Amino acid sequence: MTDMHTELAAADRVDVLGIHVSVTNLDHTIGTFARWIEGDERQLVCVTDMNALLHARADERLTEVYNTAGLTVPDGMPLVWAGKKAGFERMDRVAGPDLLERVMAEAADRGWTQYFYGGAEGVAEELGNTFQERHPALKVVGAECPPYRPLTETEDAEVVARMNAARPDIVWVGLGAPKQERWMADHRDRLNASILIGVGAAFDFHTGRLDRAPLWMQRSGLEWSYRLYKEPKRLWRRYFLGIPRFGLGILRRPPRPI
């Protein structure tokens, strides 16, 4: 692993429409995770794209969650371009599916333990099995899918007890934004894992329920068009309303270093 801490400062952030996005890349993020786990820290990680950022800036509590997270990584080229515009040339995309795959490989080598929480019924368990097949040394200590309804206090306490008993280093939360960020903020002080991280649809990408855009579309900022083509009824509003809102917002409030 390349240690990027000598090239990127751990605390650098760029203000994108009021959300403090971390100046990071995939190597730097992995290095930060290693430091947190080795130091037995308790951190929360938000993986944000344009849509998640727009949700966050419209909600005071979500804004606080994103802006106080250990990392708020840029999962989307528009956020990377915003960072570069603010002068951070080494900033790069940290997509949820890529980060999940990279951490699994590192975890297999380093002995980091994983817990998967979220997705449709059976998805978390399938995800754990998928990664253990790819990385036989990987330690998956738990996987579960909560019901779509709100949990009772008793059920929630049981989830916390199961996770703490399993002793994961990282809890991966796949509840979708902004639900997963709210869940992580509510549970950060109750869970002993070093890292809680919300990765949205990454569970579905790695279990084959969704397929990703070609790499050239990912790198050119056109992944949204591929997803819209695949799921037009669900996503048309997100992109046809979100892209102009984001673009106009950037014109009115240019990104700036914090």
Express each pLDDT in 176-223 by its tens digit: 999 999 999 999 999 999 999 999 889 999 998 999 999 999 989 999
Total-model pTM: 0.93
Portion of the chain with pLDDT greater than 90, in percent:
90
Residue 80 located in a structural domain: yes
Q: Which residue has the higher pLDDT, 22 or 3?
A: 22
- pLDDT band at 5; cut points 50, 70, 90: very low
Residue 70 located in a structural domain: yes
- pLDDT tens-digit profile of 71-100? 999 999 999 999 999 999 999 999 999 999
Would you say residue 159 has pLDDT above 60?
yes
- pLDDT band at 10; cut points 50, 70, 90: low
- pLDDT tens-digit profile of 52-66? 999 999 999 999 999
Residue 156 located in a structural domain: yes
Show the domain range for 68: 13-211
Residue 228 located in a structural domain: no
Tell whether the torsion through CA atoms of 32, 109, 171 and 231 is positive or negative: positive
- pLDDT band at 11; cut points 50, 70, 90: low
Q: Which pLDDT value is given to residue 208?
A: 87
Domain count of the chain?
A: 1
Would you say residue 258 has pLDDT above 70?
yes
Q: What is the CATH number of the domain that holds 88?
A: 3.40.50
What are the start-end ranges of the H helices in the chain? 26-38, 50-57, 60-68, 77-85, 96-110, 123-134, 153-166, 179-187, 202-206, 215-219, 223-230, 232-252
Residue 171 located in a structural domain: yes
Over residues 214-234, the mean pLDDT reads: 91
Would you say residue 4 has pLDDT above 60?
no
Give the residue among 14, 82, 9, 87 at the shortest CA–CA distance from 257. Answer: 14
Q: Which pLDDT value is given to residue 149?
A: 92
Would you say residue 6 has pLDDT above 50?
no
Please state, in angstroms and rounded to a whole number, the distance separating the CA atoms of residues 183 and 174. Answer: 10
Residue 121 located in a structural domain: yes
Q: Which pLDDT value is given to residue 3?
A: 43
Beta strands 139-144 and 170-174, pairing class = unpaired
Would you say residue 115 has pLDDT above 90?
yes
Q: Which pLDDT value is given to residue 184?
A: 98
- Mean pLDDT taken over the chain: 94
Portion of the chain with pLDDT greater than 70, in percent:
96
Residue 133 located in a structural domain: yes
Would you say residue 130 has pLDDT above 60?
yes
Residue 2 located in a structural domain: no
Enumerate helices (H) and strands (E) in the chain, giving the number of each.
12, 9
